[in-house]
Amino acid sequence: MQHTPDSFDVVVVGSGGGALAGAYLAAKAGLSTAVLERTARVGGTSAYSGGACWLPGSEVQQRAGLADSTDSARTYLGSLLDAPDSGRVEAFLAESPRLVKAFEADPALEFEWIPFPEYFDAPGRVGLGRSIQPVDIRRDELPAEVAELVRPPVERDRAGRPGRSKLSGGQALIARLLTAFVRAGGTVLTGHNVVGFHQERGRVAGVDAVVDGGSVRIAAERGILVAAGGFEGDAQLRDEHGVPGDARWTMAPAGTNRGEPIFAAARLGAATDLLDQGWFCPGLAQPDGGGSFALGFRGGIMVDATGRRYANECLPYDRFGRAMAAAAERIPSWFVFDSREGGGLPAIAMPEGDPEEHVRAGIRFRADTIAELAADIGVPAQALTGTVERFNEFAAAGADADFHRGEDEYDAFFAGGEPLVAIDQPPYYAAKFVLSDLGTKGGLVTDSRGRVLRGDGSAIGGLYAAGNSSASMTGAVYPAPGVPLGTAMVFASLAVADMAES
């Protein structure tokens, strides 16, 4: 049996995009590096993701001929973020192109532009977006141990659908980073649940992990990068910190992110912030009580318990989720649509599940009239009928006087250019929606080098954080596709650079 060393230069807690980016760069810099992952699979929510990375100003955007630049990204963030930490924002902007260049110097890491509009009509926005994604990769191009370790895509992990021979999006990101890490000599230790840290001579010098019910201590000579997601999977912590939604409705893979490393660091004196925040989205209710990330609505309307619309259904998902969270009668909501798509949901849900099973579970209804549908879902019939009639008038007029659906490029992008479509082809359907999230985004307070800070602003030696384990650089705003992964990878990179210098 191979003996696992109990000391590394760098220990990375978690194995999402930020974790693996940092781990790869550390290993490439010649530092002995271990990735500690609590589950049997590598990738976390990052593996479920679309893999879009908001890394502005890089050569990938230049190759695509986009109007992107570090300056326009600065303008965009500047117009959206409320009281940002300018040190972190500037560090992010400067590091993004360098990181992409460093990635692309490795044959395992190849990126391309992905058209995906940014989430706000604000100065500095780039038409059709500036996010980049890893190029798809075939399973047989991967080292065998990598293919084995990467978490399956969400539709397979959650709904048992067949796997893919080609890895795309977040799976491609994780597979590519893991390949590069393993080739650079890195060590992956699955089944290691990090629950605490130990200190020596005033700095954090290692982690305590639960492995097979026992406890192991692993030392880190240069530093520990906490990139273990948020605490979205822990109902009690969500409750304590007032995170809207529910641990059952989150998109984090089962058994992953429960926040132990965040709160263990807090017990050492680390400051935390934004603990009531998440990356939100509408979630299609599932028979097992879960919620599936939904976006790209191209028909239908969302109504609350009073039978009324409350927002533009085509809003970027975090913005819609925040509208949902703003009033109790919006959770659950009901998505009302017609038979234009053969009864299929005119939206993307990951995974959608089996519509007939949803009908049997009482979370989807079908009726010949809107009034009957209203009775099924328990909302006032007159109100729902009036709401549908009013929306159909908007569709006929080509303008949504209530919520301006269709006026932004994002709305039209997913709706195939037709964001206002009447609901007039029976039978009619209603699908139950809850407030889901892609993860919490509050956590450890960090500086422009990814160092974890105490309340007095001093750095805790040896301890770094990135991704959803850290308080997000973008506060309560989700500016554009790929910001979660982009910021996670950039601050992981900066953290490792700081460790390498130490």
220 touching ligand FAD, by CB under 6 A: no
Q: How far apart are CA 13 and CA 37, in angstroms?
A: 6
- Are the C-beta atoms of 170 and 50 separated by less than 8 Å? yes
Nearest-10 crossing angle of helices 70-80, 86-104: 140
> What percent of the chain is helix, strand and coil (3-state, nearest 5)?
35, 25, 45
**Radius of gyration of the chain from Cα atoms?**
23
- Sequence length of the chain is 502
471 touching ligand FAD, by CB under 6 A: no
In terms of Cα–Cα distance, which of 435, 436, 439 is closest to 472?
439
- Of 266 and 375, nearer to ligand FAD (C-beta) is 266
Q: What angle do CA 113, 118, 122 make, to 5 degrees?
A: 135
Question: Smallest distance, Å, CB 451 to ligand FAD?
Answer: 17
Per CB under 6 A, the segment of 318-326, 362-370, 398-406, 484-492 that binds ligand FAD is 484-492
In the chain, the amino acid numbered 92 is F
Residues 349-368 that bind ligand FAD (CB under 6 A): 350
186 touching ligand FAD, by CB under 6 A: no
Q: Residues 253, 450, 498, 455: is their CA dihedral positive or negative?
A: negative
- Of 69 and 468, nearer to ligand FAD (C-beta) is 468
482 touching ligand FAD, by CB under 6 A: yes
- Are the C-beta atoms of 52 and 133 separated by less than 8 Å? yes
Q: What angle do CA 38, 44, 45 make, to 5 degrees?
A: 150
Question: Smallest distance, Å, CB 90 to ligand FAD?
Answer: 20
Size of the site for ligand FAD (CB under 6 A): 45
Question: Smallest distance, Å, CB 109 to ligand FAD?
Answer: 16
Binding track, positions 11-50, relative to ligand FAD; x by CB under 6 A: --xxxxxxx----------------xxxx----xxx-xxx
Question: Smallest distance, Å, CB 145 to ligand FAD?
Answer: 17
Residues 101-160 that bind ligand FAD (CB under 6 A): 154
Q: What angle do CA 397, 315, 274 make, to 5 degrees?
A: 155
Question: Smallest distance, Å, CB 354 to ligand FAD?
Answer: 19
Q: How far apart are CA 215 and CA 209, in angstroms?
A: 6
226 touching ligand FAD, by CB under 6 A: no
Q: How far apart are CA 31 and CA 207, in angstroms?
A: 17
Question: Smallest distance, Å, CB 401 to ligand FAD?
Answer: 32
- Of 387 and 436, nearer to ligand FAD (C-beta) is 436
Reading the block at residue 121, the tokens are 């009509």
Per CB under 6 A, the segment of 183-191, 238-246, 357-365, 479-487 that binds ligand FAD is 479-487
Q: How far apart are CA 288 and CA 281, in angstroms?
A: 18
Q: Using the rule CB under 6 A, which residue among 33, 257, 472, 493 binds ligand FAD?
A: 257
Q: Using the rule CB under 6 A, which residue among 22, 51, 117, 299 binds ligand FAD?
A: 51
Can you give the binding site for ligand FAD, defined by CB under 6 A? 13-19, 36-39, 44-46, 48-52, 154, 192-194, 227-229, 251-252, 256-257, 260-261, 279, 293, 350, 438-439, 467-468, 481-485, 488
